[in-house]
Every structure is written in C-alpha cells, then in structure tokens.
Chain A
Amino acid sequence: MFLFVHLNFNQQQATVDLFALSTDEPSRLKIPSISVDASVEHLGLTNEGAMDVPEDKDDVAWYKFGPHPGENGNAVIAGHYGWKENTPAVFDNLHKLKIGDKIYVENKNGSLITFVVREIQIYDKDADASKVFWSDDNKAHLNLITCTGEWSDNEKTSSHRLIVFANKKE
C-alpha cells in the first residue's frame, strides 16, 4: 500500500514518495453537524499492530499508510472518545452523526474534500477490520473510528469501536 521508492540513477539518488506526488496531505477534519474542527496528525501503527491514536484528545489521527482522503480506497481517521480534564474528546459526539451528514477534510494546500456519511456500525474491539481499511470499488471513502461501549480497567480500553463509513461526494 505504502511505497517509498528510492531511484538511483548513475550514483544520484532521489527519494520519491508516491503518495506525496498523488495528492496533498490532510490538515484539518471538519464535521459541522457535531461541531468538530480538529487538527489532523499523521500516524501509522503501534508496536502491537493497531492503528496509532493521537497524542492530543482534541486532534484526530489519519492512518498514513492508507490512502489520502479523496484518493480511491479507504482513508481512515481516528479520534478519542470520552472526557479528559473535564472537557470532551474530539469524537465524543461521533455517535450523533447520521446518514447523509457531511464531513470535510481540508488539505494543507487549502483544498476541501467533502464526504457524506453512508453507514454507521459498531465493531467489537478485536473484530476483523478489513472492511474499515480496505475497499475494492475504485471509489474514495473516508472512515472515522472512535471508542464506544464499556471501559475495561484491566485492558485499558473500551469494548467496542464506532465506525462511521462515508463516501466522497462527487
């Protein structure tokens, strides 16, 4: 999925990030219907193989090893759920989204990509996430993830994940 290609032409080396060539990078996520306007961190995987999560509860994390928002495939953005220091995290109201609501991703160059909520699902925290990260319909999707369900003190995580599936508005 994610390629860094180093081209060596007669001892001269050039580094080419194919994704950087194809589109700009996301900088802000905006969901007016639930008053979200968040900075986008670019993160990969944890040591355990899970998608990494933002350091700041007010930020969201884009999975940088997947497609950019607006590219064909599933771009994935995660954000925290819950309260910390007496203020809610960025996706505390994600469950209030409904089908047809609009989601906007602003790129660093200022361009705005619009997505429309298609489906909302609840996954077990350990469920297979293929459908979240992969699609083969040659269309651009944006999937948002946050926690839901019961908090486990032992496992230090919630029992389920709320996934919002959205399609790019053509």
Chain B
Amino acid sequence: MKKNIKNFSKLSAITLAVALVFTLITPSVTLAATDPGLGTASSFSILAQTAITGTGTISGNVGLNSIGAGITALTDAMVGGVIYSSDGVAPSTATLSPSVQANVSNAFTSNIPGQASTGSIGPVLDGLTVTPGVYDIGAGRLNGGILTLNGSGIYIFRASSDLVSSGSVVLTNGARACDVYWRVETLTTLNGSSFVGSILAGTGIHFGSGTSLNGRALAVGGDVTLLNNNISGPTCASDPAPPILYPTPISTSTPVVTSTPIETIATTTTTVIVTQISTTTPTLPNTGINPEANNHPWDLIILGSVFALPSFFYLARKKQLI
C-alpha cells in the first residue's frame, strides 16, 4: 500500500514535470483575425452620419444616416448603387435601413475590438510588410511610403486615434482588398494616390484630391468628404494590379537640355551676353550613405573592453602572486 502511494506520487511528479515542460516550450497560439461581418453594409461604398460632401465616382451604395439634404454635391449619376438617407429625400432615392447602421456599429464597437491582437506596429507604417492578423497601430501614419500586406487572410488594423495616409498599400501573395479592415477611433484622412480596405472610422473620413479607394468608407460618426475620388470594390481578386506609386513621367513636357550659352546680342550701344540658361531637369540626387561604411562597431569594442579589463587585472594579480 505504502509502495503504491509512493509510486503514485512519483508518477504524479513526473506528469506534473512533463506538463510544466510542455507549458514552457509550447509556442503561444496566435489567433487569426476574423471577418468583422459587415452584413447588409457590405454593399455600401460610403456610410456617413452627418454629411457627405464633394463628388466622385462611387461603385456601390451610399448611405447617410441623416436627412438627404446633408448630401450636398453627390448625384445619382455618380453612384453605381443607390443613395440612401434617413428621409429618402433627394438626392437620395431610398430610406436607409437601420440594419446597415447596426451592422457597421456592431463591427466597430464589438467585432473588431473584441479580437485578440497579433501585435502592435507603427504608428509609422511606411516600409512594413505584414501577414494576416490584427494589428494595433496607434495614431497610424503612412507617410508616402508603402505598406505591404503579404499572404491570404483577414487583415485588421486598429488605430487608437486617427489615421493619415499619403502612401500606398500593396497586396502580395494572395492578399485581397476585400479582406482588409481599418478601424479608426477618430478621423481618417486619405491623401496620396490610392488606399486599400474597408475603413470604419469614429469621427469621419476625409479624402484628398483624386485619392482612389479600393474598399469602403464607413463612418460611424461624422462625415465623409470627397474630392474627385473613385471608390470601388473592395475587390476580391488576388494580386490586383499594383497601385500607381510613382508619378508618370511626362517626357513631352520636360524641358530639354538647353544649357548652351546664347550668342552675344550686340547693338550699337549695349551688349547683352546671357552666359547661362539652364532649363535642364536634373536627375534626382544621390543622397544615400553606404550603411556599412564609416560606422565603427562601438558596441563590439565596448563589449570587448568589458571582458579584456578584468582579464588584464586577473593576469596582473596572478603575476604579482608568483
């Protein structure tokens, strides 16, 4: 009996040890992002609460959770879908269903905040490449650079305050615009040439001139302002054509090199010599510094010193003792 108890204790101890080891070495499971479920709002390119100003080309439905008079410039002709408002008065042609508002609000207040974070990145998003997941980005900024979304799956970006972009989002290896969501606590400002994803913003979404959006502009508070924008999609095709990242060279309007000195123009009393006229467009300067040159490895030198000094004193002491 005593032996059995002893064996049982031994077994328990081994089991506990194995469990402990497994707990320590098992990698933490990263929960995948899930679609926040826009429901009836999925067919909307724009949703606003107080006003929709400006014009653009809009592929889907447009909704204002207020009277139609708040839609100041957009017309039916500019909208591929239907314009909805709370009173169905022109320019809208229909009354906004409460379920659209409810679906967006639910995604904004519950479905997106309720998801476990994959990690915190940013707030500067330029140059980053991320895989599907839920990312907290603080006051998100895309300062003219490129954010690359790499791989198929849902991407959710959560800005704790505002989001400002003048850059571009690139989709690679199966990433799709219809899988990208931005939850912005306050205002979203989109400049630059293009942007990707469904934006759910707390206090409004403001577009810069000509910025195109492959996604949705859904404001749970505030307005949506347009400035000749194209809002379409979000497309569900993988690897769509990349956005325009660089200005198209306008070779025909570029002044040609005419640095040749102009000949002397002489009159009887005055001589005018224009010694140089430069109408050349320079190529861009080389402002880079070789990252591997001219930098001394101070960290290694300091680390080496830390080990070398005690060794030196040890040897000196040893010599003294001898």
Q: Do A and B come from one complex?
A: yes
Chain A interface (Cβ < 8 Å from any Cβ of B): 1-10, 45, 48-53, 57, 61, 63, 65, 78-86, 89, 91, 95-99, 119-134, 145-148, 151, 153, 156-158, 161-164
| B229 interface contact, C-beta 8 A | no
CA distance A158 to B295 in the complex (A): 18
3 A-B pairs closest in CB distance: A120-B144, A128-B249, A82-B289
The answer on a CB contact under 8 Å between A81 and B288 is yes
Interface 0/1 of B8-47, CB less than 8 Å to A: 0000000000000000000000000000000000000000
Identify the stretch in B51-59, B82-90, B279-287, B309-317 within 8 Å (CB) of chain A at 4 or more residues.
B279-287
Contact of B288 among A50, A82, A131 (CB under 8 A): A82
The answer on a CB contact under 8 Å between B289 and A130 is no
List the B side residues contacting A120 at CB < 8 Å.
143-144, 166-167
**8 new A-B contacts at CB < 8 Å, known A8-B272, A147-B287:** A53-B286, A63-B282, A80-B287, A130-B250, A130-B254, A130-B281, A131-B247, A156-B286
| B291 interface contact, C-beta 8 A | yes
Residue of B nearest to A155 (CB): B286
List the A side residues contacting B260 at CB < 8 Å.
none
Q: Give the shortest distance, in Å, between B208 (CB) and chain A (any CB).
A: 8
CA distance A145 to B228 in the complex (A): 28
| B4 interface contact, C-beta 8 A | no
Contact of A8 among B164, B271, B277, B293 (CB under 8 A): B271
Interface 0/1 of B111-152, CB less than 8 Å to A: 000000000000010100000000000000101111000000
Indicate whether A4 sits within 8 Å of B288 (C-beta atoms), given known contacts A10-B269, A129-B281.
no
List the A side residues contacting B269 at CB < 8 Å.
9-10
The answer on a CB contact under 8 Å between A122 and B146 is yes
List the A side residues contacting B78 at CB < 8 Å.
none
CA distance A78 to B270 in the complex (A): 39
| B65 interface contact, C-beta 8 A | no
List the B side residues contacting A98 at CB < 8 Å.
141, 143, 164, 166
| B304 interface contact, C-beta 8 A | no
Chain B interface (Cβ < 8 Å from any Cβ of A): 124, 126, 141, 143-146, 164, 166-167, 189, 191-192, 245-247, 249-251, 253-255, 257, 269-291, 293-296, 298
The answer on a CB contact under 8 Å between A161 and B281 is no
The answer on a CB contact under 8 Å between B272 and A157 is no
12 A-B contact pairs sorted by A residue (CB < 8 Å): A6-B275, A7-B272, A51-B283, A65-B280, A81-B287, A82-B288, A84-B293, A95-B124, A120-B144, A145-B284, A148-B145, A162-B145
List the A side residues contacting B257 at CB < 8 Å.
49
Indicate whether A7 sits within 8 Å of B287 (C-beta atoms), given known contacts A2-B277, A85-B295.
no
Residue of B nearest to A159 (CB): B288
Most buried by A among B246, B255, B287, B291: B287
List the A side residues contacting B143 at CB < 8 Å.
95-98, 120
Q: Give the shortest distance, in Å, between A13 (CB) and chain B (any CB).
A: 9
Most buried by A among B282, B284, B291: B284
